[in-house]
Amino acid sequence: MDLSLAKLTLFSPAKVNLFLSVLRKRKDGYHELASLFQTISLGDILTLSLSFKDHLTCSDSFLPANSSNLVWRAAERFRCKTRLDFSFEIHLQKNIPIQAGLGGGSSNAAATLLGLNHLLGGPASFQDLISWAAELGSDVPFFLTPGTAYVTGRGEVVKPLPVLPFSKENMWIVKPQQGLSTPEVYNALDLKTLSSHNPIEVLQKFLKGQPEFYNDLEDAAFSLYPELSFVKDTLLQAGYHPVLLSGSGSAFFCIGSQNPALILPTCFVYPIQFIRRV
Ligand code: C5P
């Protein structure tokens, strides 16, 4: 097959954090985390081919389709690290809301690395891809795993896990209109009010089918965007359990039989399932 003619279509999933502990602030300014990450069926579609000139298009006109986009940066990093001479043509069909804590940009960057490695005949090892991914963003390495992982460090240390053994029906993402900036949420974090959960114990419980959901970034996100407390309380009062901010927000992950759009008509609502790369 002439690789220069091949076109790849890749699904680039969002993620949720089923628990998220912030352990401490590090000397490099990042925060040490311990979190359970899971990919979900809400995702973007990336179409990728080799070309004569770098070209990126995006269905969402609010996102820059230039060298500041994580997709472009991932492709450039791949070219620089492999020293291969190629150009790319990429189209990004955006479905994952931005500024939501769902890892959309990181997932797109990981899909770009995986896709280029495939199109170019596999010049990079999995370990190469993990280390280049970590340079692009804290969450990017997770999206190279099959889809369930215990994540530590600043987010770049990933331990892949098997399918989680608890019932996963009637799951939803509820995204209020306003988004949140990840650095702003970390800046607003009061390190004195972090939870006292032991993440290793919580992980063991999840693996035994006894999930315990929490997110240490919730209070910081709620202080920046007080309407998030209203959204969470409304869902809890309507019987949803858990109702949990994903990452730094502003999207919530919740479980309940009724469509949340019926009680929160101004939010974007997505029915979801947990998915894994095959
Ligand atoms: O690594 P990434 O570029 O995704 O991180 C964005 C910002 O989020 C960082 O600049 C930092 O302010 C914050 N962050 C953090 N601790 C982490 C991950 C991200 O403080 N573990």
pLDDT digits (tens, 9 = 90+) for 3-33: 556 999 999 999 999 999 999 999 999 999 9
Residue having the nearest C-alpha atom to atom 21 of ligand 1: 154
Mean pLDDT of 85-112: 97
Residue environment code for 239-274, b if the CB has 16+ CB neighbours within 10 A, otherwise e: ebebbbbbbbbbbbbbbbeeebeebbeebebbebeb
Q: Indicate if 128 belongs to the active site.
A: no
Report the separation in Å between the CA atom of 187 and the middle of ligand 1, taken as the mean of its atom positions.
Answer: 10
Q: Tell me the percentage of the chain whose pLDDT exceeds 70.
A: 98
174 near 269, Cβ under 8 Å?
yes
- Catalytic one of 139, 175, 216, 232: 139
Report the separation in Å between the CA atom of 138 and the middle of ligand 1, taken as the mean of its atom positions.
Answer: 7
Report the separation in Å between the CA atom of 31 and the middle of ligand 1, taken as the mean of its atom positions.
Answer: 7
Q: Indicate if 139 belongs to the active site.
A: yes
Reading phi first (left if > 0) and then psi (alpha if -120 to 50, else beta), residue 128 is in alpha
Does pLDDT of 176 surpass 90?
A: yes
Does pLDDT of 129 surpass 90?
A: yes
**What pLDDT score was predicted for residue 11?**
98
Which residue among 138, 154, 184 has the greatest number of ligand 1 atoms within 8 angstroms of its CB, and so is best to mutate? 138
Does pLDDT of 85 surpass 90?
A: yes
Provide residues with CB under 6 Å of ligand 1.
Answer: 30-31, 33, 137-139, 154-155, 182-183, 186
243 near 232, Cβ under 8 Å?
yes
**What pLDDT score was predicted for residue 278?**
77
Does pLDDT of 1 surpass 60?
A: no
Q: State the DSSP H helix or E strand holding residue 5, giving kind and residue range, or none if neither.
A: none
Nearest atom within ligand 1 for CA of residue 248: 8
pLDDT digits (tens, 9 = 90+) for 208-256: 999 999 999 999 999 999 999 999 999 999 999 999 999 999 999 999 9
Extract the runs of DSSP E, i.e. beta strands, from 65-167: 87-93, 148-153, 157-160
Report the separation in Å between the CA atom of 30 and the middle of ligand 1, taken as the mean of its atom positions.
Answer: 6
Nearest atom within ligand 1 for CA of residue 32: 21
**What pLDDT score was predicted for residue 3?**
52
Question: Shortest CA distance to 187 belongs to which of 157, 221, 236, 227?
Answer: 221
**What pLDDT score was predicted for residue 194?**
86
Does pLDDT of 107 surpass 60?
A: yes
